[in-house]
Amino acid sequence: MSDEDYLISEENGNVLSKDLARKDINVRPPWYFGTGFLLFWVLLFFAVVIPLFYRLPTALTIEDDNKGEFIGDRAYNTLNNLVNIGPKVVGSTANEVDTVLFLLNELVEIRKVLRQDYFTMEIDIQRPSGALRYSNMLNMYQGVQNIIVKLSSKNSTSESYLLVNSHFDSQPTSPAAGDDGFMVATMLEVLRVMATTQQPFEHPVVFLFNGAEETALQASHGFITQHKWAPNCKAVVNLDCAGSGGRDILFQSGPSHPWLVDYYKKSAKHPFATTLGEEVFQSGVIPSDTDFAAFVQYGHIPGLDIAQVINGYIYHTKYDRIDVIPRGAMQNTGDNILSLVRALANATELHDTEAHEEGHAVFFDFLGLFFISYSDQTGQILNYCAAVTMLILVFISMWRMSAVSSLSLVHVLKRISILLALQILALVLGLALPLLVACIFDSFGSSLTYFSSLSLLIGLYVCPSLIGMSLPITIYYQLKRKNKLPFPHHLQLALHSWAVVLALLAIGLTAYGLRSVYIITILIIFYGSSLALNLLTTFHDRGYSWTGLLMLSQVMPFLYSSYRIYLFLVVVIPMSGRAGSSMNPDLVISLLAALGAIMSFGFLMPLINMFRRPYLIVLCILSVTAITVILATGTQIGFPYRPKASSERVSYQHVRKIFYEYDGTISKDESGYLFSFQDRREAAPMMMRMAGAENMIHDCDKHMMCGVPLYDERWVDNRLEGVWLPREKPIEPPAKTELTLLSKTILENNTTARFEFKLVGPDHMSLFIQPYEDDFVAVSDWSFERSYLEDPPPHPLSYHIYFTYGIDTSPLEFYLDISKPNGDFNVPLFQLGVSGHYIGSKGDALSLEFAESFPDYAVLVDWPSSYDRYIF
């Protein structure tokens, strides 16, 4: 008897329903085939996604020269020489003298081989001073350095320049092979190839080697606001690193200039990009910034922001060395940048970029094999059309089921309504269960267990998400064994309900304005294609025949979804080790893993119900989670840190703080180590070394800016989680940071007093200013940026003037105008805190001994500092 005969019998009575159910069970494969089914997709990920993700080209050698191509070996050797200079902190001799001389020598060598019959090459050294607001502080700089090269074709008459930028300064202790020596060496080789190849270009190219990016974008701000060539720069290619040794990714474009992405699409030999990265980065979730922000905000020029992102564990550490960078990585980036710069240097749009400001672009690569881009408007149309088409196909499918099974369409609609509610519940559970695991681990002090062992993510977060996705449907099918609709059709309805959820999400998120909805659209298009083919071939109505086309259609979206989420995990997990201790990073990582599981397995998990006893498959997944939890909590596999490879970042200062009262007496003179922990576990892994440590939160309630030398905006943001470890022996900084009151003058209105000061100290200093507001005292004017005074930081923060100097070490002279309505200026008016940071010094013998007591998996960034609090 055929399935249709059974259905007709059921129409006449319910006698054969049990037999039909039994027949469905008998034709289903055993449950262990279901585990093999899921294992196939896991193996597909490791066999295809991982190799392509880390694939790199072979570096060209010197023998391949004179072909107009990027020579990876030469760039690699240049990088090696640059890294040998050591850490290049702004203000240090290494940065301001040695690196500048190195770059100038490299440029002289390029000029010697310049094709003078084709090109002209101008070199300029800029030493700007200025200020910009960054976060809640005023970021001042004095005499930072830029090395700037303009390469022009002799026959060019264009007044529009292309800007290419990277920075040569570094964080303390970092040799900066990745951030950003990699891109500096890449730029030098691109410049050399372009200067020595007979390929003229229409627009001059300005290569900016800036010497102060790590100090909150100072040198790029100095260039774009002050240099003579800056007004002619109409677009920028910014090059930076948040990792080292992989493929370079385009993660920001525009804004509002989609033609730039078109040029990347045409020219990039090894495409690696995603609109999703742009939207995530610009949301502020990523705790980082690049010079791209300065060019866009202060220069109002569009561009492309490209970076290295693999192996972020070594970013800003002493392990950022050349030995972790394969030569193929440099060839990969060089091929892309050389082709891109050449293309943009001939772009007709550069003549009038404002005329091509046409909204945003949607862009992404597929496994690095090819690149897709289109306008935001096209993306919206595509999203809406795909979603509506999907809804129509689902309706046609339901109508077909009704016709074939001789059941009413209302009956089928009731079934899909139930399944739709279950799919929404599955979506919620698929997100909630991983988040629950993250919260439980954090409550027991076991966050970051995956930090060094990414494979733990499968059991900790992916498997709970799969369980949440499968439970509602599986339980429903186990309880609902009697059903007039044939089970293959009923199973299709489960997939249709997920397609409906995705279609509604696509419509809603597109209306909200998200461009990264394209990921959902990909899922819809491929499922809709398989459904359309199944309907046309009538596989739709022949038992489980439709599953073949369905599974085939899921290969591409599975590969793309898992590839894209893996990228974000590779980028974000190392960042979770430096994002501060106030937030539980496991929540972010678990959410990413859950989203990856949902996008990759959304149309696959319901298929476990094709197999007998699908609950056993769910139990197998649960067992993987249980084993992973045991490994993560009971073995060294779950310990987050590894020496050299994935270290714990420990950032602290050796502080001498002195509080001067109004009459000049000293009320406090203390020494100690001030910690700003960068990950969730804080001091827990090294508690034996932190005996006697005190949380700073009580000092933050009592004193201006916690009464300590908060270094920059990150130290300020993380101040409430700061830790103070007292030290009996006084710390003696290498030099004295001296604040001198030059004069105090009552101005003509008799309600304002002007205080003039001179500040002498190291290359990194901060001023904290806070008037006594109870006496209606206010800072009415000063010699600093006026806009910062008019828009002060939110309470309880004080004014924070962050000051850095490069080659110009002259003292900082400034004035403060203090107003008071009653004109009584012979009482305390304001507090002034002065901090000096002696970066590069390792402190005294006791500080060195303290540093040596840390475990080998800890990477230290520390320096002596002073803090003097005055009352005037």
**3-state secondary structure string, 586-645?**
HHHHHHHHHHHHHHHHCCCHHHHHHCCCHHHHHHHHHHHHHHHHHHHHHCHHHCCCECCC
DSSP conformation class of 346: T
What is the model's pTM? Answer: 0.93
Helix (H) or strand (E) holding 782: strand 778-782
pLDDT digits (tens, 9 = 90+) for 542-580: 999 999 999 999 999 999 999 999 999 999 999 999 988
What does the pLDDT average to over 331-354?
Answer: 97
The two tokens of residue 507 are: 């419509």
More confident residue, 480 or 108: 108
pLDDT at position 22, please? 41
Do 658 and 567 belong together in one domain?
no
- Only one residue has tokens 């000063």, namely 782
Q: What is the pLDDT of residue 796?
A: 94
Tell whether the model's pLDDT for residue 477 goes beyond 60.
yes
pLDDT of residue 285: 66
Looking at residue 287, its pLDDT comes to 61
Q: Give pLDDT tens digits for 268-288.
A: 999 999 998 888 877 766 667
pLDDT > 50? residue 7: no
DSSP string of 115-179, one letter each residue: -TTTEEEEEEEE---EEEEETTEEEEEES--EEEEEEEETT-----EEEEEEE----TT---III
On the question of pLDDT at 484 being above 90, the answer is no
Residue 703 lies in a domain: yes
Kindly state whether residues 476 and 530 are assigned to the same domain. yes
Domain membership flag for residue 423: yes
In the structure encoding, which two tokens stand for residue 640, read together? Answer: 């987050």
Q: Are residues 76 and 16 in the same domain?
A: no
Domain contains 357: no
Domain CATH number, residue 128:
3.40.630.10
**Residue 183 to residue 168: CA distance in whole angstroms:** 9
Same structural domain, 532 and 579 = yes
- Range(s) of the domain holding residue 298: 62-351
- Over residues 345-361, the pLDDT tens digits come to 999 999 999 999 888 99
Per-residue pLDDT, 15: 35
In a domain, 592, yes or no: yes
Examine the domain organization and report whether 631 and 697 are in the same domain: no
The number of C-alpha atoms within 13 Å of 160 and in the hemisphere containing its C-beta is: 18
384-424 residue pLDDT tens:
999 999 999 999 999 999 999 889 999 999 999 999 999 99
The answer for residues whose C-beta is within 8 angstroms of residue 822's C-beta and 6 or more apart is 751, 776
Residue 308: strand, helix, or coil = strand
| Mean pLDDT, range 199-214, rounded to an integer | 97
At which of 617, 638, 659 does a domain end? 638
Instruction: Specify the DSSP element, H or E, that contains 670.
Output: strand 666-675
Structure tokens at 251: 């993660």
Give φ, ψ of 141 to 5 degrees: -140, 155
3-state secondary structure of 739: strand
Q: What is the mean pLDDT of residues 464-474?
A: 97
Annotate 222-247 with DSSP letters as a single string.
HHHHH-TTGGGEEEEEEEEESSSSS-
> What is the pLDDT confidence band of residue 20, given thresholds at 50, 70 and 90?
very low
Q: Are residues 46 and 68 in the same domain?
A: no
Answer yes or no: do 632 and 654 share one domain.
no
- Tokens for 148? 């700037």
In whole angstroms, what is the distance from residue 719 CA to residue 769 CA? 17
Task: Please give the average per-residue pLDDT across 199-220, as a whole number.
Answer: 97
Within-domain flag for 372 = no
| CB-based contact 503:390 (threshold 8 Å) | yes
Q: How far apart are CA 377 and CA 363, in angstroms?
A: 13
The mean per-residue pLDDT over the stretch 451-466 comes to 97
pLDDT digits (tens, 9 = 90+) for 291-308: 999 999 999 999 999 999
Instruction: Report the alpha-carbon distance of residue 556 to residue 771 in Å, rounded.
Output: 62
In a domain, 370, yes or no: no
Both 819 and 745 in one domain: the answer is: yes
CB 669 within 8 A of CB 339: no
Together in a domain, 604 and 686: no
Of 644-648, 682-686, 828-832, 835-839, minimum mean pLDDT range: 682-686
Residue 711 lies in a domain: yes
Q: Per-residue b/e over 568-593, b at no fewer than 16 CB within 10 Å?
A: bbbbbbbbbbbbbbeebbbebbbbbb
Q: Are residues 394 and 262 in the same domain?
A: no
Crossing angle of helices 546-553 and 555-575, in 10° steps, is: 40
- Polymer length in residues for the chain: 872
pLDDT of residue 321: 96
SS3 (DSSP) at 347: coil
Q: How many domains does the chain have?
A: 3
On the question of pLDDT at 819 being above 60, the answer is: yes
Question: Of 638, 671, 701, which residue constitutes the final position of a domain?
Answer: 638
More confident residue, 254 or 233: 233
One-letter identity of residue 492: Q
Is 830 within a domain? Answer: yes
Residues 730 and 841 in one domain: yes
pLDDT of residue 683: 83
324 pLDDT higher than 90: yes
Whether 335 and 470 share a structural domain = no
